Amino acid sequence: LTSALSPPPNRRLHPTYQPESAAAMSSGGIARGRLAEERKAWRKNHPHGFVAKPETLGDGTVNLMVWHCTIPGKQGTDWEGGYFPLTLHFSEDYPSKPPKCKFPTNFFHPNVYPSGTVCLSILNEDSVSLRTIC
């Protein structure tokens, strides 16, 4: 599943989430405010090779509740050299509830169901709220 996507320039790891303003947190709800702040932080600083962007709608507006991501394959594994698509679907309850994470159907990985759903306990509805998506 290697794609032709090229990785972004080298960047450091993402810093701890820090909200910039109370106004950003309240405009459009807590989830949208939080995601807007996390998007700003991600654009400034994220791990090398990773891509994460909110969905752009047909009219050019951005949907912060759906993010399209690309994860580079880890060096020294069978996935090395590949770039793998992942979609994150956030609910209005984010960050109290984690996003739904989905790879393409029939994506092969020991922690991914054939449906593309990620099998990871921290992504269950009953998990503790996340500090940040990054």
* 3-state helix, strand and coil shares in percent for the chain, rounded to the nearest 5: 20, 20, 60
Annotated active-site residue in 69, 101, 119, 134: 119
Q: Where is 62: in which H helix or E strand?
A: strand 62-72
Q: Is there a catalytic annotation at residue 119? A: yes
- Structure tokens that stand for 78 in this block: 């069978």
Which SS3 state, helix, strand or coil, does residue 87 take? strand
Q: Where in the sequence numbering do the catalytic residues fall?
A: 119
